[in-house]
Amino acid sequence: MSVETFSKPDQRRLLGRFWQSAFEYWRGPSSWRAWFLCALLLVIVVAQLLTQYALNYWNRDFFDALEQKNAAALTGVILKLFPLVGLSVALAVLSVWGRMTAQRQWREFVTTRLIHRWLHGGNFRKLGHFNGNSPQNPEYRIAEDSRVATDAPIDLALSLLSAVLTAATFFGILANVGGAITVAIGDVPVTIPFYLVFGAIAYSTLVTMAVLLMGRRLTDVVQDQIQAEATFRATANFIREAGDGLVVSSGGMAEYRQLWEGLRNVIRQWRILCWQLMRVTLVTNANTIVAPVAGLLLCAPKYLDGAMSLGEVTQAAAAFVVVQGAFNWFVDNFQRMADWRASALRVAALMLAIDELDRAGELTSSESGPAHATVSSSG
Task: Report if residue 373 sits inside a domain.
Answer: no
Q: How confident is the model at residue 189 (pLDDT cuts 50, 70, 90)?
A: confident
Whether the per-residue pLDDT at 44 is higher than 50: the answer is yes
Q: What is the pLDDT of residue 134?
A: 60
Beta bridge partners of 183: 190
- Asked, for residue 132, whether it belongs to a domain, the answer is yes
- The DSSP-derived string for 154-186 is HHHHHHHHHHHHHHHHHHHHHHHHH--EEEEET
| 218/335 Cα distance (integer angstroms) | 7
Look at residue 1 and tell me if it is in a domain.
no
Q: Considering the domain boundaries, does residue 17 fall inside one? A: yes
Q: Is the pLDDT of residue 133 over 70?
A: no
For CA atoms 133, 137, 138, 143, the dihedral sign is negative
For the stretch 216-271, pLDDT in tens is 888 788 878 888 888 888 888 777 776 655 555 444 467 778 888 888 999 999 99
Q: What is the pTM of this model?
A: 0.74
Considering the domain boundaries, does residue 15 fall inside one?
yes
Residue 81's pLDDT is 95
What is the predicted pLDDT for the residue at 7? 47
Residue 254 lies in a domain: yes
Average pLDDT, the chain: 84
- List pLDDT tens digits, range 300-356: 988 998 888 999 999 998 998 898 888 888 878 877 888 899 899 989 999 998 888
Tell me, yes or no, whether 374 lies in a domain: no
CATH number where 236 lies: 1.20.1560.10
Helices (H), 179-247: 195-214, 218-242
In our burial notation (b when 16+ CB lie closer than 10 A, e otherwise), range 161-188 reads bbbebbbebbbebbbebbbebeeeeeee
Does residue 10 sit in helix, strand or coil?
coil
202 domain-assigned: yes
pLDDT in tens, 86-97: 999 999 999 999
At residue 251, the pLDDT reads: 40
Structural domain including 127 reads 11-357
Model confidence band, residue 130 (pLDDT cutoffs 50, 70, 90): very low
3-state helix, strand, coil split of the chain in percent (to 5) is: 85, 5, 15
What pLDDT is recorded for position 244? 56
Contacts of 360 (CB under 8 A, 6+ apart): 130
Domain count, the chain: 1
If DSSP codes are grouped into helix, strand and coil, which group holds residue 7?
A: coil
The angle at the Cα of 96, spanning 93 to 97, to the nearest 5 degrees, equals 90
* Stretch 33-45: mean pLDDT: 94
* Residue 255: predicted pLDDT: 73
Give residue 232's pLDDT. 86
Residues 6 or more apart in contact with residue 162 via CB below 8 angstroms: 45, 48, 49, 326
Give 185's strand partners. 188
Q: For residues 158 and 51, what is the distance between their CA atoms, to the nearest angstrom?
A: 17
pLDDT at 362: 62
pLDDT at 375 over 70: no
